[in-house]
Structure 1
Amino acid sequence: MSGSKSSAPDATDKLTEAVALTVHAVEPPSLPKPGRGRITLLLVLLACAAPVIVSYFLYYVVRPEPRSNYATLIQPTRSMPEALPLKTLQGEPVASKSLKGQWLLTVVSSGACDAQCETRLYQQRQLREMMGRERDRVEKLWLITDDAAVPPAVLAAMQAQPPVTVLRVPAADLQAWLSAGEGKAFHEHLFVIDPMGEWMMRTPAQPDPIRFKKDLERLLKASAFWDRAGRQP
Protein backbone atom coordinates (compact mmCIF):
# COMPACT_ATOMS: atom_id res chain seq x y z
CA MET A 1 0.00 0.00 0.00
CA SER A 2 2.73 2.37 0.92
CA GLY A 3 4.40 1.63 -2.41
CA SER A 4 1.31 2.53 -4.42
CA LYS A 5 0.86 5.81 -2.55
CA SER A 6 4.42 6.88 -3.30
CA SER A 7 3.99 6.28 -7.07
CA ALA A 8 1.05 8.68 -7.45
CA PRO A 9 3.04 11.90 -7.12
CA ASP A 10 5.58 10.59 -9.61
CA ALA A 11 2.86 10.10 -12.22
CA THR A 12 1.49 13.59 -11.58
CA ASP A 13 4.91 15.14 -11.96
CA LYS A 14 5.50 13.34 -15.26
CA LEU A 15 2.14 14.49 -16.59
CA THR A 16 2.87 18.09 -15.57
CA GLU A 17 6.29 17.93 -17.23
CA ALA A 18 4.80 16.56 -20.46
CA VAL A 19 2.19 19.33 -20.59
CA ALA A 20 4.88 21.95 -19.97
CA LEU A 21 7.04 20.57 -22.78
CA THR A 22 4.06 20.53 -25.12
CA VAL A 23 3.21 24.17 -24.37
CA HIS A 24 6.79 25.35 -24.86
CA ALA A 25 7.10 23.43 -28.11
CA VAL A 26 4.38 25.56 -29.76
CA GLU A 27 6.03 28.47 -31.57
CA PRO A 28 4.17 31.76 -31.87
CA PRO A 29 2.86 32.55 -35.39
CA SER A 30 5.34 34.46 -37.55
CA LEU A 31 4.36 37.97 -38.51
CA PRO A 32 5.09 39.40 -41.96
CA LYS A 33 8.37 41.24 -42.11
CA PRO A 34 8.11 45.02 -42.49
CA GLY A 35 8.53 46.12 -46.09
CA ARG A 36 7.57 42.79 -47.64
CA GLY A 37 4.44 44.29 -49.24
CA ARG A 38 6.48 47.07 -50.81
CA ILE A 39 8.98 44.59 -52.24
CA THR A 40 6.13 42.50 -53.67
CA LEU A 41 4.63 45.60 -55.31
CA LEU A 42 7.97 46.53 -56.86
CA LEU A 43 8.37 43.00 -58.21
CA VAL A 44 4.89 43.14 -59.79
CA LEU A 45 5.66 46.51 -61.41
CA LEU A 46 8.98 45.18 -62.70
CA ALA A 47 7.26 42.14 -64.18
CA CYS A 48 4.78 44.41 -66.02
CA ALA A 49 7.54 46.64 -67.39
CA ALA A 50 9.93 43.81 -68.27
CA PRO A 51 8.60 43.13 -71.83
CA VAL A 52 8.97 46.80 -72.77
CA ILE A 53 12.46 47.01 -71.26
CA VAL A 54 13.55 43.86 -73.08
CA SER A 55 12.19 45.03 -76.44
CA TYR A 56 14.08 48.33 -76.20
CA PHE A 57 17.19 46.48 -75.07
CA LEU A 58 16.94 44.25 -78.11
CA TYR A 59 16.44 47.19 -80.43
CA TYR A 60 18.99 49.60 -78.98
CA VAL A 61 21.68 47.27 -77.64
CA VAL A 62 21.52 43.74 -79.05
CA ARG A 63 22.09 43.90 -82.79
CA PRO A 64 22.61 40.42 -84.18
CA GLU A 65 23.31 41.74 -87.66
CA PRO A 66 25.27 44.85 -88.59
CA ARG A 67 22.95 47.71 -89.47
CA SER A 68 22.44 51.42 -89.06
CA ASN A 69 19.22 53.30 -88.51
CA TYR A 70 18.01 55.65 -91.17
CA ALA A 71 15.98 57.73 -88.73
CA THR A 72 17.34 59.38 -85.58
CA LEU A 73 16.75 57.49 -82.32
CA ILE A 74 15.87 59.82 -79.45
CA GLN A 75 17.96 58.80 -76.44
CA PRO A 76 16.70 59.10 -73.81
CA THR A 77 13.14 59.00 -75.06
CA ARG A 78 10.84 61.91 -74.15
CA SER A 79 7.58 61.28 -72.32
CA MET A 80 4.36 62.82 -73.57
CA PRO A 81 3.43 65.65 -71.15
CA GLU A 82 0.28 64.84 -69.20
CA ALA A 83 -0.82 68.47 -69.43
CA LEU A 84 -0.25 68.81 -73.18
CA PRO A 85 -3.13 71.14 -74.26
CA LEU A 86 -4.59 69.15 -77.14
CA LYS A 87 -7.87 70.15 -78.80
CA THR A 88 -9.99 68.86 -81.65
CA LEU A 89 -10.67 71.08 -84.66
CA GLN A 90 -13.96 71.93 -82.95
CA GLY A 91 -12.09 73.20 -79.90
CA GLU A 92 -12.90 70.31 -77.54
CA PRO A 93 -10.07 69.37 -75.14
CA VAL A 94 -8.45 65.96 -75.50
CA ALA A 95 -6.47 64.23 -72.74
CA SER A 96 -2.97 63.36 -73.91
CA LYS A 97 -3.19 59.93 -72.24
CA SER A 98 -5.94 59.00 -74.72
CA LEU A 99 -3.26 58.80 -77.42
CA LYS A 100 -1.32 56.08 -75.64
CA GLY A 101 -1.65 52.41 -76.50
CA GLN A 102 -0.66 52.53 -80.18
CA TRP A 103 2.39 53.43 -82.22
CA LEU A 104 1.80 56.95 -83.52
CA LEU A 105 3.22 57.97 -86.89
CA THR A 106 3.02 61.72 -86.54
CA VAL A 107 3.02 64.76 -88.82
CA VAL A 108 3.43 68.27 -87.35
CA SER A 109 2.57 71.39 -89.34
CA SER A 110 0.44 74.49 -89.75
CA GLY A 111 -3.25 73.96 -90.39
CA ALA A 112 -2.85 75.70 -93.74
CA CYS A 113 -0.87 72.61 -94.86
CA ASP A 114 1.42 73.60 -97.72
CA ALA A 115 2.81 71.22 -100.33
CA GLN A 116 5.42 69.77 -97.95
CA CYS A 117 2.74 69.12 -95.35
CA GLU A 118 0.61 67.31 -97.92
CA THR A 119 3.64 65.22 -98.89
CA ARG A 120 4.23 64.20 -95.25
CA LEU A 121 0.57 63.24 -94.84
CA TYR A 122 0.73 61.16 -98.00
CA GLN A 123 3.93 59.44 -96.81
CA GLN A 124 2.29 58.82 -93.44
CA ARG A 125 -0.60 56.98 -95.09
CA GLN A 126 1.64 54.99 -97.43
CA LEU A 127 4.04 53.96 -94.66
CA ARG A 128 1.23 52.63 -92.53
CA GLU A 129 -0.06 50.53 -95.42
CA MET A 130 3.46 49.27 -96.09
CA MET A 131 3.48 47.66 -92.64
CA GLY A 132 1.17 44.94 -94.00
CA ARG A 133 -0.48 42.83 -91.32
CA GLU A 134 1.18 44.94 -88.61
CA ARG A 135 -0.45 48.16 -89.81
CA ASP A 136 -3.27 47.95 -87.25
CA ARG A 137 -0.68 48.61 -84.56
CA VAL A 138 0.09 52.00 -86.12
CA GLU A 139 -2.15 55.08 -85.99
CA LYS A 140 -1.81 58.30 -87.97
CA LEU A 141 -1.63 61.53 -86.00
CA TRP A 142 -1.51 65.10 -87.34
CA LEU A 143 -0.64 67.81 -84.82
CA ILE A 144 -1.50 71.34 -85.97
CA THR A 145 0.51 74.06 -84.25
CA ASP A 146 -1.63 77.11 -85.06
CA ASP A 147 -5.22 78.27 -85.59
CA ALA A 148 -5.10 78.27 -89.39
CA ALA A 149 -8.09 76.70 -91.13
CA VAL A 150 -7.49 73.31 -92.72
CA PRO A 151 -8.17 73.31 -96.49
CA PRO A 152 -11.41 71.39 -97.19
CA ALA A 153 -9.72 69.02 -99.65
CA VAL A 154 -7.04 68.10 -97.09
CA LEU A 155 -9.64 67.68 -94.36
CA ALA A 156 -11.68 65.36 -96.58
CA ALA A 157 -8.59 63.26 -97.29
CA MET A 158 -8.00 62.88 -93.54
CA GLN A 159 -11.34 61.07 -93.23
CA ALA A 160 -10.29 58.20 -95.48
CA GLN A 161 -10.33 54.92 -93.56
CA PRO A 162 -8.67 54.59 -91.22
CA PRO A 163 -8.98 58.33 -90.49
CA VAL A 164 -6.13 60.52 -89.29
CA THR A 165 -6.42 61.84 -85.73
CA VAL A 166 -6.19 65.62 -86.19
CA LEU A 167 -5.50 67.76 -83.11
CA ARG A 168 -4.35 71.29 -82.43
CA VAL A 169 -1.60 72.06 -79.92
CA PRO A 170 0.28 75.34 -79.39
CA ALA A 171 3.77 75.21 -80.88
CA ALA A 172 5.37 76.41 -77.64
CA ASP A 173 3.81 73.53 -75.68
CA LEU A 174 4.70 70.97 -78.32
CA GLN A 175 8.34 72.06 -78.36
CA ALA A 176 8.63 70.97 -74.74
CA TRP A 177 8.17 67.43 -76.06
CA LEU A 178 9.03 67.14 -79.78
CA SER A 179 11.68 69.04 -81.69
CA ALA A 180 12.77 69.38 -85.30
CA GLY A 181 16.33 68.76 -86.43
CA GLU A 182 18.84 71.59 -86.21
CA GLY A 183 17.96 74.25 -88.76
CA LYS A 184 14.85 72.31 -89.83
CA ALA A 185 11.10 72.80 -89.40
CA PHE A 186 8.54 70.43 -87.92
CA HIS A 187 6.79 69.82 -91.23
CA GLU A 188 9.98 68.41 -92.78
CA HIS A 189 9.97 65.34 -90.51
CA LEU A 190 7.89 62.36 -89.45
CA PHE A 191 7.88 61.54 -85.74
CA VAL A 192 7.36 58.16 -84.06
CA ILE A 193 5.78 57.88 -80.59
CA ASP A 194 5.61 54.48 -78.93
CA PRO A 195 2.52 52.99 -77.20
CA MET A 196 3.66 54.35 -73.83
CA GLY A 197 3.66 57.91 -75.12
CA GLU A 198 7.43 58.13 -75.52
CA TRP A 199 8.84 60.08 -78.45
CA MET A 200 11.63 57.83 -79.64
CA MET A 201 12.34 58.45 -83.35
CA ARG A 202 12.47 61.27 -85.91
CA THR A 203 13.10 60.91 -89.63
CA PRO A 204 15.58 63.08 -91.47
CA ALA A 205 14.12 66.12 -93.22
CA GLN A 206 12.44 65.18 -96.50
CA PRO A 207 12.45 61.47 -95.58
CA ASP A 208 12.80 58.58 -97.99
CA PRO A 209 9.79 56.33 -97.17
CA ILE A 210 11.49 53.16 -98.46
CA ARG A 211 14.47 53.57 -96.17
CA PHE A 212 12.34 54.64 -93.22
CA LYS A 213 10.07 51.62 -93.70
CA LYS A 214 12.90 49.34 -92.52
CA ASP A 215 13.21 51.23 -89.25
CA LEU A 216 9.47 50.94 -88.63
CA GLU A 217 9.52 47.23 -89.38
CA ARG A 218 12.32 46.70 -86.85
CA LEU A 219 10.44 48.63 -84.19
CA LEU A 220 7.25 46.65 -84.68
CA LYS A 221 9.14 43.36 -84.74
CA ALA A 222 11.06 44.17 -81.53
CA SER A 223 7.83 45.09 -79.70
CA ALA A 224 5.60 42.35 -81.09
CA PHE A 225 5.62 40.24 -77.91
CA TRP A 226 4.21 43.01 -75.68
CA ASP A 227 2.29 45.33 -78.02
CA ARG A 228 -0.95 44.31 -79.72
CA ALA A 229 -3.20 46.02 -82.23
CA GLY A 230 -5.74 48.38 -80.73
CA ARG A 231 -5.59 50.23 -77.43
CA GLN A 232 -5.61 47.89 -74.47
CA PRO A 233 -7.72 48.73 -71.39
Structure 2
Amino acid sequence: MDFEPVHRRSRRQLWLLIAVFFAPLATAFLLYYGFEDWRPSRSTNQGELLQPARALPVFELSTPEGTTLTNESLRGKWNLVYIGDGQCGQRCREALVLMRQSRLALNEDLPRVQRIFLTTGHCCDQHYLQSTHPGLIIAQSGTTGQPLLHAFPGAPAAEPEAGYIYIVDPLGNLMMRYSPEAPHKALLEDLEKLLKLSHIG
Protein backbone atom coordinates (compact mmCIF):
# COMPACT_ATOMS: atom_id res chain seq x y z
CA MET A 1 0.00 0.00 0.00
CA ASP A 2 1.32 3.40 -0.98
CA PHE A 3 1.34 6.05 1.67
CA GLU A 4 1.27 9.76 0.89
CA PRO A 5 4.63 11.25 1.77
CA VAL A 6 4.70 12.91 5.18
CA HIS A 7 6.00 16.22 3.82
CA ARG A 8 3.11 16.40 1.31
CA ARG A 9 0.53 15.83 4.08
CA SER A 10 2.20 18.45 6.24
CA ARG A 11 2.18 20.96 3.40
CA ARG A 12 -1.52 20.34 2.75
CA GLN A 13 -2.34 20.76 6.44
CA LEU A 14 -0.37 24.00 6.49
CA TRP A 15 -2.32 25.39 3.53
CA LEU A 16 -5.56 24.31 5.16
CA LEU A 17 -4.65 26.19 8.34
CA ILE A 18 -3.75 29.28 6.32
CA ALA A 19 -7.08 29.11 4.48
CA VAL A 20 -9.02 28.73 7.73
CA PHE A 21 -7.23 31.75 9.19
CA PHE A 22 -7.42 34.09 6.20
CA ALA A 23 -10.83 33.17 4.74
CA PRO A 24 -12.84 35.29 7.21
CA LEU A 25 -10.52 38.25 6.63
CA ALA A 26 -10.82 37.93 2.88
CA THR A 27 -14.61 37.66 3.13
CA ALA A 28 -14.85 40.75 5.34
CA PHE A 29 -12.57 42.68 3.00
CA LEU A 30 -14.66 41.70 -0.01
CA LEU A 31 -17.95 42.63 1.66
CA TYR A 32 -16.64 45.97 2.90
CA TYR A 33 -14.93 47.16 -0.25
CA GLY A 34 -16.79 45.17 -2.89
CA PHE A 35 -20.40 45.62 -1.78
CA GLU A 36 -21.27 49.10 -0.50
CA ASP A 37 -24.68 47.98 0.74
CA TRP A 38 -22.95 45.76 3.29
CA ARG A 39 -20.68 48.55 4.52
CA PRO A 40 -21.45 49.72 8.06
CA SER A 41 -22.32 53.34 8.64
CA ARG A 42 -19.36 55.51 9.58
CA SER A 43 -21.38 57.48 12.12
CA THR A 44 -24.36 56.89 14.36
CA ASN A 45 -25.78 60.39 14.36
CA GLN A 46 -29.26 60.80 12.90
CA GLY A 47 -29.04 64.48 12.09
CA GLU A 48 -27.07 65.86 9.17
CA LEU A 49 -23.49 66.44 10.27
CA LEU A 50 -22.10 69.68 8.87
CA GLN A 51 -18.50 69.05 7.85
CA PRO A 52 -16.39 70.79 8.71
CA ALA A 53 -18.06 72.41 11.70
CA ARG A 54 -18.10 76.17 11.14
CA ALA A 55 -17.45 78.92 13.66
CA LEU A 56 -20.26 81.47 13.68
CA PRO A 57 -19.35 85.05 12.74
CA VAL A 58 -19.22 87.70 15.43
CA PHE A 59 -22.75 88.97 16.11
CA GLU A 60 -24.70 91.17 18.47
CA LEU A 61 -28.48 90.88 18.32
CA SER A 62 -31.19 92.54 20.35
CA THR A 63 -33.92 90.64 22.18
CA PRO A 64 -37.56 91.70 22.76
CA GLU A 65 -36.66 92.22 26.42
CA GLY A 66 -34.03 94.79 25.50
CA THR A 67 -30.99 92.63 26.24
CA THR A 68 -28.27 91.52 23.81
CA LEU A 69 -27.42 88.09 22.38
CA THR A 70 -23.76 87.67 21.36
CA ASN A 71 -21.32 84.88 20.59
CA GLU A 72 -20.49 84.68 24.28
CA SER A 73 -24.16 83.90 25.01
CA LEU A 74 -23.72 80.57 23.21
CA ARG A 75 -20.46 79.53 24.83
CA GLY A 76 -20.47 76.92 27.58
CA LYS A 77 -23.79 75.35 26.54
CA TRP A 78 -25.15 73.21 23.74
CA ASN A 79 -27.52 75.34 21.68
CA LEU A 80 -30.64 74.35 19.76
CA VAL A 81 -31.35 77.05 17.19
CA TYR A 82 -34.39 77.66 15.01
CA ILE A 83 -34.59 80.48 12.46
CA GLY A 84 -37.89 81.81 11.19
CA ASP A 85 -40.51 84.54 11.08
CA GLY A 86 -41.42 85.96 14.49
CA GLN A 87 -45.12 85.25 14.01
CA CYS A 88 -44.16 81.53 14.12
CA GLY A 89 -46.22 79.50 11.68
CA GLN A 90 -46.90 75.77 11.76
CA ARG A 91 -43.37 74.49 11.06
CA CYS A 92 -41.96 77.01 13.52
CA ARG A 93 -44.30 75.83 16.26
CA GLU A 94 -43.53 72.17 15.55
CA ALA A 95 -39.80 72.85 15.71
CA LEU A 96 -39.98 74.87 18.94
CA VAL A 97 -42.08 72.17 20.61
CA LEU A 98 -39.60 69.49 19.51
CA MET A 99 -36.70 71.54 20.87
CA ARG A 100 -38.51 72.06 24.18
CA GLN A 101 -39.55 68.43 24.60
CA SER A 102 -36.13 67.08 23.63
CA ARG A 103 -34.45 69.34 26.18
CA LEU A 104 -36.89 68.37 28.93
CA ALA A 105 -36.26 64.69 28.22
CA LEU A 106 -32.57 65.14 29.05
CA ASN A 107 -33.49 65.25 32.76
CA GLU A 108 -30.36 66.05 34.80
CA ASP A 109 -28.53 67.24 31.67
CA LEU A 110 -31.25 69.78 30.91
CA PRO A 111 -29.21 72.80 32.18
CA ARG A 112 -26.47 72.02 29.65
CA VAL A 113 -28.75 72.89 26.71
CA GLN A 114 -30.44 76.16 25.77
CA ARG A 115 -32.96 77.00 23.03
CA ILE A 116 -32.65 79.97 20.70
CA PHE A 117 -35.16 81.39 18.22
CA LEU A 118 -33.61 83.78 15.69
CA THR A 119 -36.38 85.80 14.08
CA THR A 120 -36.13 87.08 10.53
CA GLY A 121 -38.96 89.60 10.88
CA HIS A 122 -42.36 90.40 12.44
CA CYS A 123 -41.07 89.90 15.95
CA CYS A 124 -42.88 88.53 17.78
CA ASP A 125 -45.92 86.55 18.84
CA GLN A 126 -45.02 87.17 22.46
CA HIS A 127 -48.19 85.67 23.93
CA TYR A 128 -47.59 82.31 22.25
CA LEU A 129 -43.83 82.25 22.81
CA GLN A 130 -43.92 83.28 26.47
CA SER A 131 -46.84 81.05 27.45
CA THR A 132 -45.77 77.94 25.55
CA HIS A 133 -41.97 78.20 25.55
CA PRO A 134 -40.71 79.70 28.81
CA GLY A 135 -36.93 80.04 28.85
CA LEU A 136 -36.68 80.29 25.06
CA ILE A 137 -34.11 82.91 24.03
CA ILE A 138 -35.48 85.13 21.25
CA ALA A 139 -33.27 87.41 19.18
CA GLN A 140 -34.07 89.65 16.23
CA SER A 141 -31.69 89.27 13.32
CA GLY A 142 -32.41 92.61 11.67
CA THR A 143 -29.91 94.07 9.22
CA THR A 144 -26.85 93.43 11.38
CA GLY A 145 -27.74 89.76 11.75
CA GLN A 146 -27.65 88.88 8.06
CA PRO A 147 -24.06 87.53 8.11
CA LEU A 148 -25.10 85.26 10.99
CA LEU A 149 -28.16 83.96 9.14
CA HIS A 150 -26.09 83.19 6.05
CA ALA A 151 -23.75 81.06 8.19
CA PHE A 152 -26.61 78.56 8.67
CA PRO A 153 -26.97 76.40 5.52
CA GLY A 154 -30.59 76.20 4.50
CA ALA A 155 -31.67 79.04 6.78
CA PRO A 156 -34.73 81.06 5.66
CA ALA A 157 -32.45 83.68 4.14
CA ALA A 158 -31.53 81.07 1.52
CA GLU A 159 -34.42 78.57 1.70
CA PRO A 160 -37.57 80.15 3.18
CA GLU A 161 -39.42 76.86 3.67
CA ALA A 162 -36.53 74.76 4.98
CA GLY A 163 -37.29 75.03 8.69
CA TYR A 164 -34.17 73.30 10.01
CA ILE A 165 -33.27 72.89 13.67
CA TYR A 166 -29.55 73.45 14.23
CA ILE A 167 -27.09 72.42 16.94
CA VAL A 168 -24.31 74.82 17.91
CA ASP A 169 -21.69 73.39 20.26
CA PRO A 170 -20.40 75.06 23.46
CA LEU A 171 -17.48 76.58 21.55
CA GLY A 172 -19.80 78.40 19.16
CA ASN A 173 -19.41 76.02 16.21
CA LEU A 174 -22.38 75.10 14.00
CA MET A 175 -22.19 71.32 13.64
CA MET A 176 -25.55 69.64 12.87
CA ARG A 177 -28.99 70.28 11.44
CA TYR A 178 -32.35 68.49 11.29
CA SER A 179 -34.87 68.86 8.49
CA PRO A 180 -38.65 68.72 9.06
CA GLU A 181 -38.53 65.14 7.72
CA ALA A 182 -36.08 63.93 10.39
CA PRO A 183 -37.55 61.47 12.93
CA HIS A 184 -38.70 63.28 16.06
CA LYS A 185 -36.50 61.10 18.30
CA ALA A 186 -33.40 61.87 16.24
CA LEU A 187 -32.71 65.18 17.97
CA LEU A 188 -32.99 63.72 21.47
CA GLU A 189 -30.92 60.65 20.67
CA ASP A 190 -28.12 62.72 19.15
CA LEU A 191 -28.19 65.16 22.07
CA GLU A 192 -27.89 62.32 24.56
CA LYS A 193 -24.82 60.99 22.75
CA LEU A 194 -23.22 64.42 22.46
CA LEU A 195 -23.73 65.20 26.13
CA LYS A 196 -22.44 61.80 27.18
CA LEU A 197 -19.25 62.14 25.14
CA SER A 198 -18.69 65.86 25.64
CA HIS A 199 -16.22 67.27 28.14
CA ILE A 200 -17.32 70.81 27.35
CA GLY A 201 -20.66 72.36 28.09
TM-score (structure 2 length as normaliser): 0.68
Residues 87-110 of structure 1 show CA distances to partners (whole Å, capped at 9, x for unaligned) of 111454433222211000111111
Give the Å deviation of 1:75. Answer: 1.0
2:162 paired with 1:180: no
1:168 alignment counterpart:
140
In 1: Cα distance, 2:130 partner to 2:174 partner = 26
Residues 72-122 of structure 1 show CA distances to partners (whole Å, capped at 9, x for unaligned) of 11111111212x231111454433222211000111111010111111110
2:45 paired with 1:69: yes
Question: SS at 1:148's partner residue?
Answer: coil
In 1: Cα distance, 2:52 partner to 2:178 partner = 16
RMSD: 2.6
Identical counterparts, % of pairs: 25
Q: Please, which runs of 5 or more residues in structure 1 have no aligned partner?
A: 1-64, 229-233
Q: Larger C-alpha radius of gyration, 1 or 2?
A: 1
Q: Compared with structure 1, are the counterparts of its residues 89 and 140 closer, same or farther at alpha carbon in structure 2 (3 Å cutoff)?
A: same
Give the Å deviation of 1:155. Answer: 3.0
Give the Å deviation of 1:144. Answer: 0.8
In 1: Cα distance, 2:163 partner to 2:73 partner = 26
> In the TM superposition, what are the counterparts of 1:43-122 in structure 2 within 5 Å?
67-82=43-58, 84-122=59-97
- Retained in 2: the 8 A contact 1:117–1:187? no
1:12 alignment counterpart:
none
Question: SS at 2:150's partner residue?
Answer: coil
Higher mean displacement: 109-118 or 182-191:
182-191
Give the Å deviation of 1:147. Answer: 3.6
TM-score (structure 1 length as normaliser): 0.60
In 1: Cα distance, 2:126 partner to 2:116 partner = 17
In 2: Cα distance, 1:202 partner to 1:147 partner = 24
Query: How many residue pairs were aligned?
Result: 159
Q: Which has more strand, going by share of residues?
A: 2
